[in-house]
Amino acid sequence: LEVSAPRRIRALDPDVVNKIAAGEIIVAPVHALKELIENAVDAGSTSLEVLVKDGGLKLLQITDNGHGIAKEDLPILCERFTTSKLKAFEDLTSIGTYGFRGEALASISHIAHLQVTTKTKDSSCAWRAHYDSGKLIPAKPGQSAEPKPTAGRPGTQITVEDLFYNVPTRRRAFRSASEEYNKILDVVGRYAIHCDGVAFSCKKHGESGTTISTQSTSSTTDRIRQIHGGTVANELVEFTSSDERYGYRARGLTTNANYHVKKTTLLLFINHRSVDSSNIRKAIEQTYSTFLPKGGHPFTYLSLEIDPARVDVNVHPTKREVNFLNEDEIIETICGDIRTKLATVDVSRTFMTQT
């Protein structure tokens, strides 16, 4: 047997590196959308409109009325690690905004056609720019790549077309546009419920009606009613929980013992970012097991704010998971407070039926 010579090690082309990184951050259209929603909310928007075609693979457009982007920043907007939110590594311990790494728009520009139209309140007009692989490109071949003045309202509109057009294996992995649209609706619904004072809408391209529509002035319960219906909204109880020792504060709405379904719905936000936590889900289900019939599960919206110094948001490229100190103690305390609340609701119910 002939032993072949070792293959030489070479540095990857930066473009390849960027494309690989982009594929890790944006696995499906919904991940791009989540980043765009978070950017719009970070920009102080009170209105956020989402338009989707083919489950987001053909078109994802999000229009906000936030502070906009300065024209001078447009040339570096989509470069990797350019951000207005983080300056030093230490800032990660006090990060108050959703985004923080300057990777989202860069990633999107590597795997989709990206167009940005934006107007700050001081600008006399809006500016439109097109991007590819982190850089400004002309709208049409032969034109200049410079942003073009255009009419527009204050705020930003981001248009993402043909996601994964240059990653054919990923593009082919999506079998159903409606499945992707459902994931998009789930995420828009979560932020629509969580973001106080922000109106959300989401619709399919070509359809006249909206699938989600909430007003900026609605209460959290009303927003839950609009998205999940009265059967859930009519059975909600409010709870709060906090403990200075563990540096956290939580508030939420959770269904009482009247309501139960086959599967738990948990809308979880940690420091205003929609995340998953199987530990919190399990603990809540455990809490409800004494209140609900066997196999019954609750609907819970939980907003947990933890001292940023105790949270590591940087453990996952998509920021879907976060680690925090005293996780067990915090979960136990919150569930204890939910249990107390459910017990009192139960008592008043018994009391009412007796009289």
Residues in the site for ligand ADP, rule: CB under 6 A?
35, 39-40, 43, 64, 66-69, 77, 83-85, 99-106, 156
CB distance 300 to 261 below 8 Å: no
Contact between 39 and Mg ion per CB under 5 A: yes
The interface partner of residue 65, options being ligand ADP, Mg ion, none and the CB cut-off 5 to 8 Å by kind, is none
Contact between 155 and Mg ion per CB under 5 A: no
Which residue, 224 or 313, is less far from ligand ADP as judged by CB?
A: 313
Q: Looking at the DSSP assignment, which residues form a beta bridge with residue 299?
A: 265
Q: How many residues bind Mg ion (CB under 5 A)?
A: 3
Counting every residue, how long is the chain? 355
Which residue, 23 or 296, is less far from ligand ADP as judged by CB?
A: 23
Which residue, 70 or 237, is less far from ligand ADP as judged by CB?
A: 70
Contact between 55 and Mg ion per CB under 5 A: no
Nearest distance, CB of residue 313 and ligand ADP, angstroms: 11
The interface partner of residue 100, options being ligand ADP, Mg ion, none and the CB cut-off 5 to 8 Å by kind, is ligand ADP
Q: Looking at the DSSP assignment, which residues form a beta bridge with residue 203?
A: 51
Which residue, 40 or 136, is less far from ligand ADP as judged by CB?
A: 40
Question: What's the rounded Cα separation, in Å, for the pair 10 and 125?
Answer: 47
CB distance 66 to 198 below 8 Å: no
- Indicate the residue whose CB is closest to ligand ADP: 99
Nearest distance, CB of residue 328 and ligand ADP, angstroms: 31
Contact between 95 and Mg ion per CB under 5 A: no
Nearest distance, CB of residue 93 and ligand ADP, angstroms: 16
CB distance 226 to 213 below 8 Å: yes
Q: Looking at the DSSP assignment, which residues form a beta bridge with residue 248?
A: 243, 306
C-alpha pair distances (Å), 341 with each of 223, 252, 257, 284: 22, 12, 11, 13
Question: What's the rounded Cα separation, in Å, for the pair 268 and 282?
Answer: 13
Which residue, 153 or 282, is less far from ligand ADP as judged by CB?
A: 153
Give the residue, chosen from 22, 59, 104, 322, that forms a contact with Mg ion under the rule CB under 5 A.
Answer: 104
Q: Looking at the DSSP assignment, which residues form a beta bridge with residue 241?
A: 250
Where does this chain touch Mg ion (CB under 5 A) — which range of 24-32, 99-107, 141-149, 153-161?
Answer: 99-107
Nearest distance, CB of residue 195 and ligand ADP, angstroms: 14
Nearest distance, CB of residue 65 and ligand ADP, angstroms: 10
The interface partner of residue 127, options being ligand ADP, Mg ion, none and the CB cut-off 5 to 8 Å by kind, is none
Tell me which long-range contacts 186-191 makes (C-beta under 8 A, separation of at least 24): 186/30, 187/30, 187/33, 187/34, 187/37, 187/274, 188/33, 188/37, 188/50, 188/212, 189/227, 189/228, 190/267, 190/269, 190/274, 191/37, 191/41, 191/274
Residue ranges binding Mg ion (CB under 5 A): 39, 99, 104
